[in-house]
Amino acid sequence: MNVLGIETSCDETAAAVVADGREILSSVVASQVEVHRPYGGVVPELASRKHVEAIVPVAARAMEEAGVEIHGLAATQGPGLVGAILVGFSFAKAFAYARNLPFVGVNHLEGHVHSVLLSDDPPAFPFVALLASGGHTALYRVSGPLSMELLGQTRDDAAGEAFDKVSKAMGLGYPGGAVIQEIAAAGDPGRISFPRSWLSEGSLDFSFSGLKSAVARYLETHPDSWRDDRAHIAASFQEAVAQVLAQKALAACRAENCPRLALVGGVAANQRLVSVCQELGKKPGVTVHAPPLSLCGDNAAMIAAAGYYRLDLGERTSLTADVFASTPPRMS
């Protein structure tokens, strides 16, 4: 079954065709980074307008590159920016109606987990998935393509959101993850002792608001010197995030007696996070899996892959269904 996937949950307009949930036949992503960069973050109204402009040519290009018949449609239904999601979701519904094709709405978070299943080295089931992105940070036990149990999640800022806000405070630009990783390469991660929030003993939840505030206080209390130390600040902040994410993820692997860890979402592109997870996973024998960089950020291939399994089971989403912003349905 060839599924056309549509993803517009934030600031990328994406379309992809995936065969049988595993083979990517095409994947097209139109980024809006240059549009939002002057504002230091995504402006929802601008994002929605750009999606309206891009959705038809992006989808047309994805189908042209795939060169195959489309058998079903899958589109992000939420969570994310409502105005942005509506563009892709409405397009997919209209396409499905016009072509008389089956249609299914996909949870964006479920899509991210499927990104690692599209890699050359997908983990066997069950595995623990650490999903870290600009809007979400959570841990899941994944027992099958459509069976994902929430183990823990952030209580405030997402990890990627913290990267963006720290980058903005330091005047480094947007998006923050890539620029902080680049600058941190020249810094000493042990130079500044930023806090790590572990919460209560045994908790698999996350909190990054305190770390973000600690960086802001450091900048305020070192107004004359912090710019000379920005590589050390970036490295120390990145290390604090990576250590918390990695140690919580490995704790989830121990709790679930699962020797496989998948890193998904935009923050999975951070090489320090990958390295820390690999280092900490050696002794307990936990293998670490991550999708290629092209599948770490928002993309439609992951939506098409997740949609395939639901369509294959006969699931259909009503053409009168609505999108959701922040409270996703169960992913199992």
Preceding amide of 44 cis, omega within 30: no
Burial of 259 per CB tally in 10 Å (0-12, 13-18, 19+): middle
Q: Give the CATH H-level superfamily of domain 2-113+295-312.
A: ATPase, nucleotide binding domain (3.30.420.40)
- Rounded Cα distance, 274 and 288, in Å: 8
Per-residue pLDDT of the chain (332 residues; tens, 9 = 90+): 999 999 999 999 999 999 999 999 999 999 998 999 888 889 999 999 999 999 999 999 999 999 999 999 999 999 999 999 999 999 999 999 999 999 999 999 999 999 999 999 999 999 999 999 988 999 999 999 999 999 999 999 999 999 999 999 999 988 899 999 999 999 999 999 999 999 998 999 999 999 999 999 999 999 999 999 999 999 999 999 999 999 999 999 999 999 999 999 999 999 999 999 999 999 999 999 999 999 999 999 999 999 999 999 999 999 999 999 886 544 54
- Rounded Cα distance, 119 and 138, in Å: 20
Spell out the residues 6+ positions from residue 11 whose beta carbon is closer than 8 angstroms to its own. Answer: 31, 32, 33, 35, 36, 42, 47, 50, 84, 298
Q: Which CATH architecture has domain 124-290?
A: 2-Layer Sandwich (3.30)
- Domain boundaries of the chain, sorted by first residue: 2-113+295-312, 124-290
Preceding amide of 175 cis, omega within 30: yes
Measuring CA to CA, how many Å separate 311 from each of 72, 146, 231? 7, 11, 48
Residue pointed to by tokens 């892709």: 88
Alpha-carbon torsion 255, 258, 262, 264, what sign?
negative
- In this prediction the pTM is 0.94
Measuring CA to CA, how many Å separate 88 from each of 68, 186, 283, 285, 325? 21, 40, 44, 41, 14
Summarize pLDDT for 274-326 with one digit per residue, the tens: 999 999 999 999 999 999 999 999 999 999 999 999 999 999 999 999 999 88
The answer to whether domain 2-113+295-312 and domain 124-290 are alike in fold is: yes
Secondary structure class of 73 (helix, strand, coil) = strand
Residue 241 neighbours by CB distance under 10 Å = 29
For residue 104, which amino acid is it?
V
